[in-house]
A and B are shown apart, each in its own frame.
Chain A
Amino acid sequence: GQNIDQPTEMTATEGAIVQINCTYQTSGFNGLFWYQQHAGEAPTFLSYNVLDGLEEKGRFSSFLSRSKGYSYLLLKELQMKDSASYLCAGYDSNYQLIWGAGTKLIIKP
């Protein structure tokens, strides 16, 4: 079956670095997204990876390894406003987007 796995919850300290992992098992692969969702709000786009490697966007970076079916989102210099859920979603060979349940990130002062 098709599946996206990510940890349910993580805690980190303001100013620190955190890595949120995502593993996927899909029939084929056509790219992986990361979205941020604050409680009760709409998800907002963070990154899209289709090739192996690291893509950096300011404090946020996303990494993909297609051979390992693995991605991570790296958040640096954590701020309290980064407290949110982070959703990993992958496209399979039928261009269907499969979503993970999300990782709730709690930032402590």
Chain B
Amino acid sequence: DGGITQSPKYLFRKEGQNVTLSCEQNLNHDAMYWYRQDPGQGLRLIYYSQIVNDFQKGDIAEGYSVSREKKESFPLTVTSAQKNPTAFYLCASSITGQPYNEQFFGPGTRLTVL
């Protein structure tokens, strides 16, 4: 079955630690995205990548980093510089980065920083 996987579903970390969230897709999609979802707010774009070895900052990239070394993988690192990292993180992909392409979402990772 084709789809997007994110792991783990729940993640707990101590303040000051970096943590990496996994995102893998086997849909052969070129574009991948990371969003953050907080209660009462819309999805906010952290980073996106339209092609392998290339990525761009979204609206709230500060305190986060990504890599896109393989087409199917787009891991997100939440660094200690991120002031308020506790949130629900969603990874998505689309066939291309064109606006008419729907985005397919992974199940999400709920990160709690203690």
Contact = CB atoms under 8 A, between A and B. Distances in A.
A63 interface: no
Interface residues of B, number: 19
A96 interface: yes
A65 to B, nearest CB: 19
A99 B44 contact: yes
B19 interface: no
B43 A99 contact: yes
A11 B90 CA distance: 27
B61 interface: no
A42 B107 contact: yes
Interface residues of A, number: 24
A70 B110 CA distance: 33
Given A96-B45, A99-B43, A101-B40, A42 B90 contact: yes
B107 A48 contact: no
Nearest to A99: B42
A42 B43 CA distance: 11
A86 interface: no
Nearest to B101: A48
A44 B45 contact: no
B34 interface: no
B42 A33 contact: no
Q: Which 10 residue pairs spanning A and B have beta carbons closest together?
A: A99-B42, A42-B105, A91-B99, A99-B43, A45-B102, A30-B99, A101-B42, A43-B105, A100-B42, A95-B99
20 contacts: A8-B40, A31-B99, A31-B100, A40-B108, A42-B105, A42-B106, A42-B107, A43-B43, A45-B103, A48-B100, A50-B100, A87-B43, A91-B99, A96-B45, A97-B45, A97-B99, A99-B44, A100-B42, A101-B40, A101-B42
